[in-house]
A and B are shown apart, each in its own frame.
Chain A
Amino acid sequence: MAAPGVSARRDAALIRVLTLAVLVALWEALGQTRLVFGEALPPASAVAAAVAREIASLSFYRHLAVTLGEVAGGFLLGALPGVAFGLAMGARRVLGAAADPYVAALATTPKIVFLPIVMLAVGIGPGSKVALGAISAFFPVAIAAASGMRAIPPVFVRVGRAFNLRGGQMVRMIYLPALALPIVTGLRLGLGVCIVGVLLGELKLASVGLGFLARDYYDQYDFASLYAVVAIVFALASLANGAMSRLARRAEAHR
């Protein structure tokens, strides 16, 4: 099974790199010639230069730190209660049945609609972005934890009871390992939508943060720098997602 798997992965990686190279070349050509979009599409080289400029400037790191802090805060405040609520929903049939329609409806609502309410509640500072990130992260995490809890084979719990496990041992030796994969999957989705929520909030109304920075460059018609911020956000989101998938692969390794 190893050999075809490896070569398929290598082919996929090759196709991915070639696609990127072709797209960047096309982008550069379109940007230089200004055939489409005019000023709105700066060439790739100009964007690369703007990325370098950002990375070398001190104020960029202030914006980066604020955004990272908001994402981290929102993720913690959303994911932890999300896990707890999801587990309770999965463990208690009545609670699950009662909460399910609300959770499903709210989960599909774009969280940006809550921004005005959130700003009224906690002001227009970073707090509102943390709150928006938390609201975003909560739902996918809760849904994944609930379905993970429901999917635990009852025989595992019976084995635990047969070996006389105490409550704490039951949690640590049966529930947690059985739930690792669904919870990590939920956290991965939750982190993604948390980043979206924070950035949307910053784009809408803020005085600091990467979203604000992008908005600010837009207002100044500095499109190369705008693209640079977008590229940096993209890179950061990919890194976060990569870290979460590594975690997921570890949890999944033996299923």
Chain B
Amino acid sequence: MSAPILRVENVAKRFVTATGTVEALAETSIEVREGEFVAVIGPSGCGKSTLFNIIGGLDSADGGRVLVEGKPIAGSHRDIGMVFQEESTFPWRTVVENVAFPLEVAGMGRRAREEKAMRFVRLVGLDGFERRYPAELSGGMRQRTALARTLCAEPRILLMDEPFAALDEQTRMLLGEKLIEICQALKQTTLLITHNLSEAVQLSDRVLVMSFRPGRIKRTVAIDLPRPRTSDVIASERFASYLGTIWEDLKAEAAKGLAALETARRAPAGR
């Protein structure tokens, strides 16, 4: 087995709040091998987004380090391409101009960058819409534009934070299939942060279950299901048993998360 391309080593993060210090992440370690699709699943408030920001270099860790091919990285890095949960396409740019954005940043000429961007526009299935503006597209199409924009920079590792969270279930399933197709075509190493169980199992080679506060990897589940993950695979007993296994682990954490949320609500109002 090849050496991991991405290693997250004992990354920790604390937040200081009015009521004290919250340990968001405790000694979290992750390894992702080349071409692998790994999902990190955890309840709300478990520090998933913190982990995403630290790996992407948008936030600093209080301990530990992130390594790409064995080299520690600091700050945002061109080997790691980020896709955000929020609506992030630029409304003043057309689809192809959005996708070409990282190439423009790198100083590539207009002709060359549009030609290259068009490859990724086609890859996400948006050809015919390249001259449209985001406001003219559906939410799913805009998220595909954002995905193409990140892929266009050809990162070694695709890092996504709940990219389909704002979409409805069916769009999410279809986009998931599309994502898998793309990742296989590009042999794209991918780390997906999600709170959606079936999404994690549908897409991943491995699912890492995070614990609630402090967040750490509680368990790794290898998803040994054939690809492509057709509706037959998704309807299979093994798919369901993976869901059950992971939910068993996740349930306790989600319950803790919910309890923490309710305690916070019950606390006397004071700001």
A254→B105 contact, CB < 8 A = no
A180 within 8 A of B: yes
Tally of chain B residues near chain A (CB < 8 A): 25
B212 within 8 A of A: no
The secondary-structure label for the interface of chain A is: helix
Interface pick from B21-29, B88-96, B201-209, B257-265: B88-96
B78→A156 contact, CB < 8 A = no
A106 within 8 A of B: no
B105→A159 contact, CB < 8 A = no
A-B contact count (CB 8 A): 54
A56 within 8 A of B: no
A254→B76 contact, CB < 8 A = no
Chain B positions within 8 Å of A164 at CB level: 75-78, 105
* Best-buried of B57, B75, B101, B153 by chain A (most CB within 10 Å): B101
List residues 75-118 of chain B with CB under 8 A from any CB of chain A. Answer: 75-78, 81-82, 84, 86-88, 90-93, 101-102, 104-105
Given contacts A161-B58, A177-B92, are A155 and B84 in contact (CB under 8 A)?
yes
C-alpha gap A123/B129 in the complex (Å): 60
Interface size class of A (residues with CB under 8 A): 10 to 19
Given contacts A165-B105, A173-B104, A173-B105, are A255 and B76 in contact (CB under 8 A)?
no
B104 vs chain A, min Cβ distance (A): 7
A153→B86 contact, CB < 8 A = yes
Chain A positions within 8 Å of B165 at CB level: none
Chain B positions within 8 Å of A161 at CB level: 58, 76
B92→A158 contact, CB < 8 A = no
B43 within 8 A of A: no
C-alpha gap A254/B137 in the complex (Å): 12
